[in-house]
Structure 1
């Protein structure tokens, strides 16, 4: 029986062990998509306690606490940090089989260095005291943790109206050499069905000093903000797409009419929404291609399902789930429309529904080319899929239907500075998968060849992919 969380955790054969320890574990981290607070990084936030650094904003943990019967006061309510932590510690023994059990103990082991202990009600005080002493150290500040975990680049997620003050402060700090780049997240612009759409367009107009009455006005305002983001090091955009839509628009006049009716408070029908959303995303895709930006499409979340909880706690509180709406046809049409304009940027496709893995993997193959290795990426297991089974399936399906050698690997997609251990989790699974191929004779037992691929997937491919190389 293997010990829990030893140095060969998740590594099932000698080939996997060698690949991980010799080629994967020491690679730097290129975390190209996350939800860390730029202000926390700029301020070099020092966390007061384990509740702040571990539970704040982490809806993965909130969901399992609710499932275990913990009162909301101890999750998102006004209980003290210590009370919330103790509630979490009490829940941990009940999470066997859930990825948060692994993540929790990986996070105690790295960066805290606490191993050979299982968090529980009985060990909670010991863990608290041990970790509290370390949280006071400079190496456990926001910047200190990033340095400890060998992070080279972080891509945050930022609204087009953000003034990027904190990114500027980070870039101007001579004592901090980790790249922190903004990521353009324009969801409010291409979702005219949202209740706050008109207010958002008004704010965009105020920000850019453009009165937005037409589609041309809108794109002129967006150009100003795109340029501003580019000046602050942006090299990527991210679109959160619950429903993939595609509808060709007959004329600019039609787009103007849709925009004006929506700004006047009209409710748009599905055709109008699809027409407007398509036009905005095609225009944005052209801009990304010209700048050499990467376009990320996160597809298939069903958000804010519990309306009572949404009204009390707001979005991103742990009440989202996997959707099952088909999207292959409109996605193909959207990518093809950009390709016909010779303006399809480097693109990462993520699906939250693992049932669509093969759909996404094969869709990527339709649009590869242009002399760019791995131009179309099947993104790593996302959200509910960044666990043992989900990541393994994604890697195996990518390998069988594309080129895993060109894969840009893992990302945290997290709000926590402790989540860098997800890269370790991914790397162990990657090495175990590939090591299994070697062990069964499915690929050569050539460690130089295979180890080089492992290094590329862990770091080199992502660094190259986000280098800003333009399509032409």
Structure 2
């Protein structure tokens, strides 16, 4: 919308909702080749039965019809949309200090018909260089019934306790949002010294920050392995690059970009350190830079061996965010096919906050089937229906069930 020259009041402001929708429709007309165009029309067709393209001239008609259906169609409640999308399991992203009260209410409701489980995201306890670190440690301490956490290991003990709490509420995955993957070996004594320096309000060096982060991530990963949690790592994003807009509108308002992170060696050392002691958890690694696909894929291949028979325990994560497009998905799957086993891929994820965004999984499956079909037509794989069915159904559904232990 900004690229279309639409005023900010119609993008993030408090203008009339229909005026904002009409402005969006005018921008969408220009979005040829953009995945947003595909997503929007998949949503209109799947949930509202609308096949008319959304344009400036059709905006009012589509606004009126969708508004009426959202108000009156029982299949277009949140639960109705989830059921219509054939969803079995939803993993939310939750801070360790969350009381998970809504998860408890959902779990106690026998009419839900699908699973909603938390995922453990301890970024605020790991990112010691962020300005909110000290205030967050107070919150973490309170969540385990303490006034403060005096040492680095006290922080870990608190996080371990919260992992146990999350596990009791059905959690099976974690999520770590990192600028890049750090690895600098650090003793407990060093980590404590760095922690106390930060708690005293002193500025840390980059080396100190990375040492603390490494210490925390290694020890958390060992806990995840013990509890059969999946460790997810997202990296390579530079946030809030437009300082003027950040000051005016705050974070998460559309001013982030892909970063260039040179952390392949650190990633391999991180995985190797855990593998030495047989404490490497199932791990999914996502980079926002498509140039990292081959790096991650070949790194993952070096750590696939295990005695439990688990298929592809280290996964190259799906194309996400800026890469959540046809080109991004195809490149990610081609890279995975070259360096590993595409047939063991756990498939698509979407971190959208919209309940209509389940169509992005449909989008992914169509792109995946088209890619595989092209390989078959080109004679690169036999037209063996049973073999292809196993691959496609695995990527679409069954591999994720096995990997996340969804019953």
Contact 2:235 2:287 (8 Å CA) reproduced: yes
Deviation per CA, 1:378-399: give whole Å up to 9, x if none: 1111111111111001111111
1:221 to 135, 158, 162: 158
Structure 2 residue aligned with 1:300:
236
1:348 aligns with 2:284: yes
1-structure distance, mates of 2:277, 2:211? 17
After TM superposition, the structure 1 = structure 2 runs for residues 310-459 of structure 1, keeping only pairs within 5 Å, are: 310-370=246-306, 371-459=309-397
1:143 aligns with 2:89: no
1-structure distance, mates of 2:272, 2:47? 45
Q: Secondary structure at the match of 1:420?
A: helix
Q: For the aligned residues, what is the CA RMSD?
A: 1.2
Q: Provide structure 1 residue ranges, at least 5 long, that are not aligned to the other structure.
A: 1-64
Q: Which has the higher contact order (CA 8 A, sep 6+)?
A: 1
Structure 2 residue aligned with 1:240:
177
Q: Provide structure 2 residue ranges, at least 5 long, that are not aligned to the other structure.
A: none
What is the CA distance between 1:355 and its match in structure 2?
Answer: 1.1
Structure 2 residue aligned with 1:123:
58
2-structure distance, mates of 1:453, 1:424? 16
- How many residues of Structure 1 are paired with residues of Structure 2 in the alignment? 403
After TM superposition, the structure 1 = structure 2 runs for residues 87-106 of structure 1, keeping only pairs within 5 Å, are: 87-106=23-42
What is the CA distance between 1:110 and its match in structure 2?
Answer: 1.1
2-structure distance, mates of 1:275, 1:390? 33
What is the CA distance between 1:313 and its match in structure 2?
Answer: 2.1
2-structure distance, mates of 1:157, 1:458? 22
TM-score of the superposition, structure 2-length normalised? Answer: 0.97
What is the CA distance between 1:449 and its match in structure 2?
Answer: 1.0
Structure 2 residue aligned with 1:272:
208
2:199 to 247, 252, 263: 263
1:75 aligns with 2:27: no
Deviation per CA, 1:73-117: give whole Å up to 9, x if none: 1111111222211111111111112111111111111111111x1
Deviation per CA, 1:414-458: give whole Å up to 9, x if none: 111111111111111111111111111111111111112100100
Q: Secondary structure at the match of 2:47?
A: coil
2-structure distance, mates of 1:76, 1:278? 38
CA 243–422 in structure 1, closer or farther in 2 if over 3 Å, else same: same
* Greater alpha carbon shift after TM alignment, 334-343 vs 122-131: 334-343
What is the CA distance between 1:468 and its match in structure 2?
Answer: 7.4
2-structure distance, mates of 1:189, 1:340? 25
TM-score of the superposition, structure 1-length normalised? Answer: 0.84
Contact 2:288 2:322 (8 Å CA) reproduced: yes
1:463 to 380, 401, 404: 401
2-structure distance, mates of 1:468, 1:288? 17
2-structure distance, mates of 1:304, 1:143? 34
